[in-house]
Each structure stands twice: as structure tokens, then as C-alpha cells.
Chains A and B, each alone.
Chain A
Amino acid sequence: MKPAPSIIFFTVASGAGYGLLFWLGVLKPLGLLPASSLFGATAAIIALALITAGLCSSLLHLGRPERAWRALSQWRTSWLSREGVAAILTFLPATVFLISLAHGETALMVPAGLLSAVGAAVTVYCTGMIYASLKPVKEWYHPMVAPGYLLFASFSGASLLAMLAIFWGGGFFPALVAAALGMAALMFKRAYWASVDATPAASTRETATGLGFIGKVRPLESPHTEANYLLREMVFRVGRVHAAKLRSIALLLGFALPALLFCVAIILGGGASWVFGLLAAASALAGLLVERWLIFAEATHTVALYYPTQR
């Protein structure tokens, strides 16, 4: 599948934003974060800014962005529609949460924070299910895809929260959460790749053409000499040339390095540790951009079976 920059940015930015909102909404009421209202408000503003920027970016992927409001209507069947509804509904408690954080209103903060956390989790789950429900793409139609979106969003959100909390001098617990999630994400992604690589696609050229009863099927002539929408959108193959290296980069930059840097920040404590927190969060987001690029670039669509194999 073609890795569209608008969608890669959307899922990484909104994922991190919702992850940040989730952990802020859960940990703030528990009193495990710096008490400063400036910290709370800054974290909430960053979360909402990332979410909004991501959602705006997703509109760039549409052929008719001005009609985007129509996407809220078909939540009964469409995960994309559900994602849109969940994203908009989450803005309600999140706005209340932001205001309560800025004013130090503890009575409102707890329910608004918890509702924001639920909204964030539901929205990211819907994002994951958009991909996990697409049968023609075997790398996506996989039980680990939707949980993966949740895990990576919660990890990147925890990384941002840890970075901010370290800066405000109360980063021990969030840094611990971020480091643990980083290691979990690393193992999860490795397990996902192992599973996907070992699973043969359900469909073959033989089932796609129904000619398997004759023997092996080989494409002889393409229906058209030039490219077309299908080839550009769904038969993208560039990613697989460097897939092995990019996978290592995603694991190291995205998960291993941030986990290590957060551990260093915890051990060091004190003045200079915020530098490590900042580097860890930046590394996590950069690694996740690579990971998300691979999610598209490595995904194979059954329509490719109809066309000659290309590099």
C-alpha cells in the first residue's frame, strides 16, 4: 500500500496525542504527576494540539475534504465513521479536563480526565480497526493490528508525558511507565512481524483468477501499458527493498532507545535528566514514523495478484 504522508503523520501525531491524553487523564487523578497546574495545562494543550493537527492532516488525504462532515453518518458499519464520531466526542471531556487542569478544579478533573482517557482509547481502537477489518491486506487483517495501535499510542503518549513530567521535576513514575511500554512495544512488534512473515496470504493468483485447476498461473499481459490508480495506490513495493533495515531502525529508534534513555533519566534524576527525557520522546516519535511508514509500505493488497510482480 502507498504510504501517504498525511495518514502517517495523522496516525502518529493523533496516536501520541490520544496516548498523552489517556495517561494524563488516568495518572493525574491518581496524584502520580507533578501537582503544578501549569504542567497539567501544558500537557493537555500539547495532547489536544497533536490530536487536532493529526485530524487536520487526515483531511488532506480526502479527495473532497469539504465534505468530511459526511463521514460522521455511517457509524453503524464503518470504523472510519466511528473514529470520526469518537474523535469529536472526545473533545468534549478533554476540553473540560483542560479547563479543570488549568484552574486546579479537582472535583471536575477526575471525571473529565477519566472520560477523556476512555474517549482516547476508543478513538485509537477505531483507528486500528479501520486497518484490522480490511481482509484484502493480510498484514492488516491480523489480530495484533488494533492492539498494536493502542499499545504504540499509549507508549508515545507516555513518552511525551514523561518528558514533560521530568521537566517539571516529577518524572519518576511516568518515565517508568514509558520505559516499560517501550520494552513491551518492542516485543509486541517483533512478535507481530514474526507472525505476519510466517502467515501465507489466503489468496493466490490461482484463487484470484480461478485458474488454479489448470496449474500454476503466471501473468502474461498487463491490461494497460502505463500505471493506473490501482498500481500506484495498492501495489506499492518500494518499502520491501529496505524493509529489514527499516524494521531494525524502527525497533531501535522507536522503542529500545527511548526505553534506555528514560531509564538513564530515572537513574540520573535532577537537573540534566530533562535532556534525556526530551531525546527519548523525540526518538520515540521518529521511530514511530518509520514504523508507521512500514505498516503501509510492507502491506500487500490482493489486487497485486492480478498484475505482474514488480520490484
Chain B
Amino acid sequence: MTSLPSPAPGAKKLGLVIDLDTCVGCHACATNCKEWNTSGHMAPLPDQHPYSAAQEGVWFNRVHAYEAGDGDEGRTVHFPRSCLHCETPACVTVCPTGASYKRAEDGIVLVNTDMCIGCQLCAWACPYGARELDEDQGVMKKCTLCVDRIYNETIPEDRRVPACVSTCPANARHFGDLGDPNSDVSKLVAERGGYELMPEMGYQPVNRYLPPRNASSQVKTAPKEAGPLPSQITNPLLRWMDKVLSR
């Protein structure tokens, strides 16, 4: 049913917290996501022309890079973008078939690919570009928050996190219950001023982004030169050597 589950107070809201301060833009999260999910719940994640020019494919996670601000305040920010598992996801309510749904028990937004007709209205309805069409199967695919990992009792408990979180070498991705104010992720969001993307759209995304730390709080003095310029050398022997070697 594409009607949204009525929000219960204190209900689980599983989601990701992405630290833009520490993300190094290595694309490991995107790669491990592709690796896990191409044989996971919404498998496969097909590629078109994989071994020739114009290769492309379905990915649930895309890592952008932006420049923000100018001069000393300017920053380069690596920016992973994936489904935010919104609390009011229009991708679910616009679905004409009931293939798209939001789980009442943990808030994960999923697609039943056996029911999807590939009308693509959900992709149009998502402001964040979280949904991509599987052009081989003609159905829509999206991030599952690794629903097949996080509840998977055949893998060790400490590894029951989404593939993107488990692989991040910079520990820039965190997974947890954002509906519980006492969870580690909620505390992290509160401490670091985590925010939601495009709040003006009113989709109430669950995922949060942690802002890059304030550049002005960092040391701003120009780095020291490694050594004096040739014209500044005072040692006569070194001056003579510099002259000879410069010929």
C-alpha cells in the first residue's frame, strides 16, 4: 500500500549520518554498495556496455565533490548522495501499483520489483535523485539501507550495518536509529549540528549530514617555506655551489 504508515511516537527511524568533514571522496562506499547490492535484496544492479565506451549502470550511492565559499573560507567537500529514507516520501505516495512502500517497523523505503511497472513517476517525485531505473528489467531500484545485512543473523553482529558504512575507511558514515534521541547517531547529530538536505521540499529526510568543521577555527597562517630562496643564502660556500649548479 502506498499510503504511508502513521508515525508512532518513538518509532524506529533507521538512517545514515554522513560526516562531510571527514569524507575523503574515495568512492569506497559507492563501490561496496554496488558490490553488495548487485547480489542483494534488489539485485541485480545492471551495467550497460560495461566493457566499452559510455559504460553506465545502476548505483544506489553517488559521490559528488563541491567547492563551497571563496578564499580562506573556501572548502572542497566530498558529498555522497543516496536515498534519505524520508518520513514523507512522495516516491511512495505517487506509486500507482503499491510496489513502493515505507516500512512501518523501521522506516526503510523499499521497492517490490515484482510489482513495479517501471512508470518512473517515483524517480520524478524524488528531489534527491535516489531512484534509478534498471533498464534491463524495466523496474525501479533504490537503496535498501542494506535491509539484507542489518538484520542478517548469519553475519557477526558488529558487522550488521549497511555495506557503505562497513567499508568507509575514514569512518565518515554512521548508521543507527535516528528516531531514538539517545542513540549514538542522534547524539552525534546533536553534537555536530547535523542537518537535512532540501528541508524546503518538506519530505523530512531521515538521513543527516554533518557539516564540515569551521575553516576559520583552523590555523590560517601561511605555511613556512621549506628553506631560504637562493638569493637569501648567506653561507659563502653554499652561495658558490648555487652559482655553479645554476649554470
Contacts and interface: CB of A to CB of B under 8 A. Distances in A.
B88 to A, nearest CB: 11
A208 B128 CA distance: 8
B126 A136 contact: yes
A80 B129 CA distance: 20
A47 interface: no
Given A64-B138, A207-B197, A214-B68, A303 B129 contact: yes
Most chain A CB neighbours (cut-off 10 Å) among B62, B117, B123, B135? B117
Contacts of B64: 219, 221-223, 306-307
A79 B137 contact: no
Given A63-B133, A215-B74, A223-B30, A208 B96 contact: no
A218 B66 contact: yes
Contacts of A84: 96
Contact of A74 (B96, B127, B203): B96
A74 B99 CA distance: 10
B38 interface: no
A131 B54 CA distance: 31
B125 interface: yes
A215 B139 contact: no
B75 interface: yes
Interface residues of B, number: 73
B153 interface: no
A20 B201 CA distance: 38
B87 to A, nearest CB: 15
B70 interface: yes
Contacts of B2: 74, 76-78
A79 B122 CA distance: 12
Interface string A48-89: 000000000000011111011011111011111100100000
Contacts of B116: 63-64, 67
B1 interface: yes
Interface string B91-105: 011111111000000
Contact of A234 (B3, B59, B124, B197): B124
Interface string A192-221: 000000000011010111111111111111
A244 interface: no
Interface string A285-311: 000000000000000011100110000
A37 interface: no
A147 B174 CA distance: 46
A234 B123 contact: yes
B185 interface: no
B39 interface: no
B77 A209 contact: yes
A130 interface: yes
A217 B121 CA distance: 29
A278 to B, nearest CB: 36
A77 B96 CA distance: 8
Contacts of A229: 56, 58, 123, 132-133, 135
Contacts of B66: 205, 209, 211, 217-220
B138 to A, nearest CB: 3
A190 interface: no
B118 A62 contact: yes
Interface string B194-231: 01111111110000010110010000000000000000
Contact of A207 (B63, B198, B202, B203): B198
B69 A209 contact: no
A136 B56 contact: no
Interface of B: 1-3, 20, 25, 27, 30, 54-59, 62-70, 73-77, 79, 81, 90, 92-99, 115-121, 123-129, 132-135, 137-140, 195-203, 209, 211-212, 215
16 contacts: A62-B118, A63-B119, A67-B97, A70-B99, A70-B117, A71-B96, A74-B97, A78-B93, A80-B119, A203-B127, A210-B211, A215-B68, A221-B65, A223-B62, A228-B57, A306-B128
